Amino acid sequence: MDKTLNNKAWFMVLPVLLLVAFSAVIPLMTVVNYSFQDSFGNNQFFWAGLDWFQELLHSERFHNALARNLVFSGLILAIEIPLGICVALCMPRKGIGVPICLVLMALPLLVPWNVVGTIWQVFGRVDIGLLGYTLNALGINYNYTQDWLAAWITVVVMDVWHWTSLVVLLCYAGLVSIPEAYYQAARIDGASRWAVFRYIQLPKMHRVLLIAVLLRFMDSFMIYTEPFVVTGGGPGNSTTFLSIDLVKMAIGQFDLGPAAAMSLVYFLIILLFSWIFYTLMTRDSDSTANASKGGSEA
């Protein structure tokens, strides 16, 4: 039987398509156009071909910034995902404690990015900041404006404080969706706490963990406001990530061609790593589902 096509539905989608084209596609095409040209001001452009891309791929500055981004994102995922799971497992499932915990977990997410940077900038100062003054009073030499390790620790802890709540809320949503019958069956079988987590809770959280990993990777890899407000990319270039380096190149140096090429490579790197994460996690999910199906049939 032939299906009747509803062409009127396209008119409902058309405003959305136009909005996406205006807000995403057109600026992207502008960046692509700039990446193949050079400008000397007065809106005069000259064809440069692939020169900016070749220069970028051989640039030590770009490689160092990319390495900092990869290390930072790796640290963030290694800390926030396990910590978020642990906090979600400790949260109550019933009673008055549920709304209290949910509100407390949501509070850091409501703070704007620039305000987070300002809070931690003041919090870590050695003269008036509670953290910096306390650590130095205890004999710990802490100064994020002069010591690269202190700057890195400050930026990482700041991001963990700000975004672990997102992982907690996603994991908690996956936990509360598990039927009580699973836990009853586990108690009857005498399953340990680790067995319940390994074979019941973790598989049920797999989808939300996929979302959490993808969101946290993309956000951490594109981080700009918080480290820029706190450290400005310093001391030296120790916290100059790709986003900060890109803004310095585009606005500070006004090198539109190299900045456009760098932004496209930056965009492709994020897409590549996100696709890798998604492929690996969904493949693991499919294999786990097939194993469970085979075990049930046996």
What are the pLDDT digits (tens) for 16-36?
888 877 787 888 888 888 888
Residues 280, 198 share a domain = no
Residue type, 160: V
50 and 150 together in one domain: no
pLDDT in tens, 171-185: 999 999 888 899 899
The fraction of the chain above a pLDDT of 70, given in percent, is 92
Using alpha carbons only, how large is the chain's radius of gyration in Å? Answer: 24
The range of the structural domain enclosing residue 49 comes to 22-58+255-286
Give me the chain's average pLDDT, please. 86
Read off the pLDDT of each residue in 236-245 and give the average, rounded to a whole number. 91
Q: Are 79 and 160 in contact (CB under 8 A)?
A: yes
Q: Is residue 176 part of a domain?
A: yes
76 and 164 belong to one structural domain:
yes
What number is the average pLDDT over the span 232-237?
Answer: 88
Total domains in the fold of the chain: 2
Is 4 a member of any domain? no
Per-residue model confidence (pLDDT) at position 26:
80
- pLDDT for 260-269, tens place per residue? 999 999 999 9
For the cut 60, the answer to whether the pLDDT of residue 292 exceeds it is: no
Which residue carries 């600026």 as its tokens? Answer: 27
pLDDT over 90, % of the chain: 41
CA distances from 7 to 4, 14, 129 (A): 9, 11, 62
Based on the domain organization, do 128 and 219 belong to the same domain? yes
Q: Per-residue confidence at 164, pLDDT binned at 50, 70, 90?
A: very high
- What pLDDT sits at residue 241? 93
162 assigned to some structural domain: yes
CATH code of the domain covering residue 145: 1.10.3720.10
Q: Are residues 54 and 70 in the same domain?
A: no
Question: Do 42 and 168 share a domain, yes or no?
Answer: no
Answer whether residue 292 is part of any domain.
no
- Residues 140, 235: one domain? yes
pTM for this predicted structure = 0.84
Q: How far apart are CA 213 and CA 219, in angstroms?
A: 10
The b/e string for 236-252 (b: 16+ C-beta within 10 A; e otherwise) is ebbbbbbbbbbebbbee
* CA distance linking residue 152 with residue 236, whole number of Å: 12
In a domain, 164, yes or no: yes
At 22, the amino acid letter reads F
- Same domain? For 85 and 229 the reply is yes
In a shared domain, residues 45 and 112:
no
Residue 152 lies in a domain: yes
Are the C-beta atoms of residues 101 and 92 closer than 8 Å to each other? yes
Indicate if 129 and 112 belong to the same structural domain: yes
**Residue 291 scores a pLDDT above 70:** no
Task: Convert 288-297 to b/e letters by CB count within 10 Å (16 or more is b).
Answer: eeeeeeeeee
pLDDT given at position 41: 66
Residues 272 and 176 in one domain: no
Residue 89 counted as domain residue: yes
97 and 153 both lie in a single domain:
yes
Question: Is 247 domain-assigned?
Answer: no
Going by pLDDT thresholds of 50, 70 and 90, the confidence category of residue 94 is confident
Please state the length of the chain.
Answer: 298
